[in-house]
Amino acid sequence: MNDLQTAPRPAVLARQSFIEMSARERAAALLDPEGQREVLGPFDGLQSPWLPRQGIVPQSDDGVVVLRGRLGGRDAVVAALEGRFQGGSIGEVCGAKIAAALELALRDCEAGRPVLPVLLLETGGVRLQEANLGLAVIAEIQSAVVALRRHVPVVAAIAGLVGCFGGMSLVAGLCSHIVITRQARLGMNGPEVIEQEAGVEELDAADRQLVWSLIGGEQRVATGLADALVDDDAAQVREQVLGFALGAPSEARSAQVSIWRARIDALAANEDLSPKALREAWETPRRAQGDKP
Ligand code: COA
């Protein structure tokens, strides 16, 4: 054997990239290996009736994979969005699949059979080609998340590269915990949308360093809008999701109104904040509220 064959493998090569996985692979990597079952899979042929009418080839799972199985030995359901199909956008069918999966988990929770829900969000938000139907179904997903989190932690993971935008960023905000990678972005409007609507002087969407410093995973964790920063490593994503899903329930971020009000008040005096200044401006109210740094 030569030196190269015996040299220890760098940690980065030992990792299995989560970002490079398809939605189906991500969901499977997250759950315990035994007893996984796909609900409404591609062979059920439940696809968007609206895309073909607009000259777009539909996909037989409409870009979402729902897997039932177990997480750390507990009953669980994972809904994973496929960022490579229409930017992971939410149309009528894929949105209804997610909402129904969460509502069934809620029914089980209410009957005393807890099911741990996990959302793998990789989405440009409402599917522009399905407009109001997408909006309506996102509202159903939001209601289900709020109802479920009274019973079990609802965990979202945002891996990248699409990120999580639009109405689905509100879904993420309602979840009990958000796990995010450095590569992911989380925000209401996409950078291109902001540039298009407000002009390049407001935001240059081509300036990737600026975009990630504003809405990237590291900044979102530093400012308390996401809970855990993980590497692009399937094992690390699973471990962190498992930690939150099996952990004690905590007050949801969207219920912490006084903390967020104090942070926004602290911003009022700072008109033109850099990403670094934003982190510093929020430190004072965070400490005063006893929040973790
Ligand atoms: N509806 C339909 N298609 C969408 C979409 C949406 N909401 N978001 C993204 N896509 C599509 C894009 O049109 C593109 O399709 P194409 O490959 O056929 O051209 C594909 O997904 C990838 O998007 P792209 O913009 O090329 O990738 P990116 O990594 O540069 O940017 C986003 C990804 C999500 C940041 C960007 O697409 C974006 O800003 N989308 C809008 C986000 C938003 O503001 N949503 C609010 C909707 S209410």
Percent of the chain with pLDDT over 90: 80
Judge whether residue 272 has pLDDT over 80.
Answer: no
Q: Tokens for 199? A: 């002009």
One-letter amino acid for residue 126 of the chain = V
> What's the 36 CA to ligand 1 centre distance in angstroms?
31
User: Edge-to-edge strands of the sheet including 64-71?
Assistant: 37-39, 64-71, 74-81, 116-120, 155-158, 177-181, 228-230
Which residues are near ligand 1 (CB < 6 Å)? Answer: 86-87, 89, 124-128, 161-163, 165-167, 189-190, 192-193
Q: What is the 3-state secondary structure (H, E, C) of the chain?
A: CCHHHHCCCCHHHHCCCCCCCCHHHHHHHHCCCCCCEEECCHHHCCCCCCCHHHCCCCCCCCCEEEEEEEECCEEEEEEEECCCCHHHCECHHHHHHHHHHHHHHHHHHHCCCCCEEEEECCECCECCCCHHHHHHHHHHHHHHHHHHCCCCCCEEEECCCCCECCHHHHHHHHCCEEEEECCCEECCCCHHHHHHHHCCCCCCCCCHHHHHHHHEHHHHHHCCCCCEEECCCHHHHHHHHHHHHHCCCCCCHHHCHHHHHHHHHHHCCCCCCCHHHHHHHHHHHHHHCCCCC
- Can you tell me the distance from the alpha carbon of 270 to that of 267, in angstroms, rounded to the nearest whole number? 5
Judge whether residue 284 has pLDDT over 80.
Answer: no
> pLDDT (tens digit, 9 = 90+) per residue, 206-254?
999 999 999 999 999 999 999 999 999 999 999 999 999 999 878 899 9
Q: What element of type H or E holds 86?
A: none
Judge whether residue 184 has pLDDT over 80.
Answer: yes
- Can you tell me the distance from the alpha carbon of 85 to that of 22, in angstroms, rounded to the nearest whole number? 10
**Per-residue confidence band for 293, with pLDDT thresholds at 50, 70 and 90:** very low
- Structure pTM? 0.92
Establish how many alpha carbons lie within 13 A of residue 64's alpha carbon, considering only the half-sphere containing its beta carbon: 28
> pLDDT (tens digit, 9 = 90+) per residue, 202-212?
999 999 999 99
Q: Is the link from the previous residue into 4 a cis peptide, with omega within 30 of 0?
A: no
Judge whether residue 16 has pLDDT over 60.
Answer: yes
Average pLDDT in the chain? 92
Percent of the chain with pLDDT over 70: 94
C-beta separation of 136 from 175 below 8 A: no
Phi then psi for 68, rounded to 5 degrees? -100, 150
Which residue's alpha carbon is nearest to atom 3 within ligand 1?
86
Superfamily classification of domain 15-250: 2-enoyl-CoA Hydratase; Chain A, domain 1 (3.90.226.10)
Judge whether residue 292 has pLDDT over 60.
Answer: no
> Which distant-in-sequence residues (6+ apart) come within 8 Å of 239 by Cβ?
none
Which residue's alpha carbon is nearest to atom 20 within ligand 1?
87
> What's the 20 CA to ligand 1 centre distance in angstroms?
18
Cβ neighbours of 140 (radius 10 Å)? 16
Helix axes 92-110, 131-148, angle to 10 degrees: 20
> What's the 162 CA to ligand 1 centre distance in angstroms?
8
Sequence ranges of the domains in the chain:
15-250, 256-293
The residues pairing with 178 across neighbouring beta strands, listed in sequence order, are: 156
- Can you tell me the distance from the alpha carbon of 52 to that of 280, in angstroms, rounded to the nearest whole number? 49
One-letter amino acid for residue 57 of the chain = V
Cα 195 versus chain centre, distance: 23
Which residue's alpha carbon is nearest to atom 34 within ligand 1?
124
